[in-house]
Structure 1
Amino acid sequence: MSRSTPVSFDIASIKASGSLIAVGLNADGSVQVPADYKQAGWYQKGPAPGEQGSAVILGHVDSYQGEGVFFLLKKVKPGDMIDVKRADNKTAHFKVTDVRMYEKTGFPDQLVFGPRGGATLQVVTCGGEFNQTTKSYMSNVVVFSSLDSVT
């Protein structure tokens, strides 16, 4: 598929859906996440969902205010579908291939953001143990998927 801005996503198996905003990099080189815990973001410095390469969508698991956009992401299973509607009125349908958790100190940047062959989509949120001192999770949940079809 050619490049087109993704506008919304749907993960029916966990009843997660919503609009997408573009995110980039923070001043320290880390990847931005949406300020709103109920909003998902597409990493615009990488491929768009459906393009060759690794597209990435990020969002919060929760906040002190409640459940975040990807609160149930860790419950996604291989074979589940992730649909991404794009500005060109096409929908890219991705089939989940794997769900993994990585400690933030050993996060596999290249595996998540680097090319993995074909058109892939990784969805990332926080998970694992919550550190009360730093007020953040110690790990990230990553859902890996590959383009299955386009409508």
Structure 2
Amino acid sequence: MVLIAVLAGCSAAPGASTDRRPGSTPLPEPGIVTDASPSPTAERTEDPPPRAETTAALDASPPERVRIDALGVDQEIIPLGKATDGSMEVPQAAEPVGWYQYSPTPGQTGPSVLAGHLTWNGVDGIFRNLDTLVVGDPIEVIRADGSTARFAVSRVEQYGKDRFPTARVYGNTEGPELRLITCAGDYDPESRGFSDNVVVYARMLPPS
């Protein structure tokens, strides 16, 4: 399996240079089918609901904005590609949410990946309260074609970066899903990164 690294919403400490990229988590190349078995090290904040029927996927359309009422978030989305070192590019400010453009667009079949900062140069990031979401919280993604993909949180988990369950987070799914990712845990001044990642899993809802 070919892997690249994807940065998951981390940032340098207050006053630190941002030239050095913080710790990363692995991401399989798009289209690779992986074993999505659970990680025994995950800290699950909510039990996942029973599996629902798969919602019909939407055509591809890049995301432009995300709304998360429970967090007071109504924020633009910017596309993120790959940096020269193979890691995912990161937003160069505290508030934009980044969409990894090598993942499906929100509403397509598969896990669409959105990343945001916990902190950025001493400023609270857009996903600073991501770990407070609970099962059932709604997430809306406004797309370039004018449509809105609506999701509901299905689980919230925290993983140590050294035990990140790549397959479970990024593996292929039966229907349209969303992943929101940021950093968490203890800050390591030597590596200028955090020890953990928070991952929010969400499934797309049928049209209302």
Shorter chain as denominator, the TM-score bin is over 0.9
Aligned length: 151
Task: Give the partner amino acid of 1:87.
Answer: A
**Match 1:97 to one of 143, 146, 154:** 154
Give yes or no for contact 1:91–1:150 (8 Å, CA) kept in 2. no
Give yes or no for contact 2:112–2:178 (8 Å, CA) kept in 1. yes
Question: Within 2, Cα distance between the matches of 1:55 and 1:108?
Answer: 16
Give yes or no for contact 1:56–1:112 (8 Å, CA) kept in 2. no
Give yes or no for contact 2:95–2:125 (8 Å, CA) kept in 1. yes
Match of 1:2 in 2: 59
**Match 1:14 to one of 65, 71, 81:** 71
Percent identity for Structure 1 against Structure 2: 34
**Tell me, what secondary structure is at the counterpart of 1:149?**
coil
Gaps of 5+ in 1: none
1:113 aligns with 2:113: no
**Match 2:91 to one of 31, 34, 53:** 34
**Match 2:139 to one of 82, 90, 102:** 82
Give yes or no for contact 2:80–2:100 (8 Å, CA) kept in 1. yes
> Which 10-residue stretch deviates more, 59-68 or 71-80?
59-68
Q: Deviations over 1:70-124 (max 9, x none)?
A: 0110101111011000011111110100000111122222222221220000000
Aligned-residue CA RMSD (Å): 1.3
Higher relative contact order (CA 8 A, sep 6+): 2
Match of 2:35 in 1: none
**Match 1:59 to one of 116, 121, 124:** 116
**Tell me, what secondary structure is at the counterpart of 2:59?**
coil
Question: Within 1, Cα distance between the matches of 2:76 and 2:206?
Answer: 21
Give yes or no for contact 1:54–1:122 (8 Å, CA) kept in 2. yes
Task: Give the partner amino acid of 2:183.
Answer: C
Give yes or no for contact 2:112–2:177 (8 Å, CA) kept in 1. yes
Question: Within 2, Cα distance between the matches of 1:107 and 1:27?
Answer: 22
1:46 aligns with 2:46: no
Looking at CA atoms only, which structure, 1 or 2, has the larger radius of gyration? 2
Question: Within 1, Cα distance between the matches of 2:163 and 2:141?
Answer: 28
Q: Deviations over 1:101-151 (max 9, x none)?
A: 111122222222221220000000001111122221111100000001347
Task: Give the partner amino acid of 1:119.
Answer: P
Give yes or no for contact 2:109–2:173 (8 Å, CA) kept in 1. no
Task: Give the partner amino acid of 1:92.
Answer: A
Question: Within 2, Cα distance between the matches of 1:125 and 1:113?
Answer: 14
Structure 1's consecutive aligned runs of 4 or more residues displaced over 4 angstroms after TM superposition are: none
**Match 2:199 to one of 135, 138, 142:** 142
Distance 1:110 1:101, change over 3 A: same
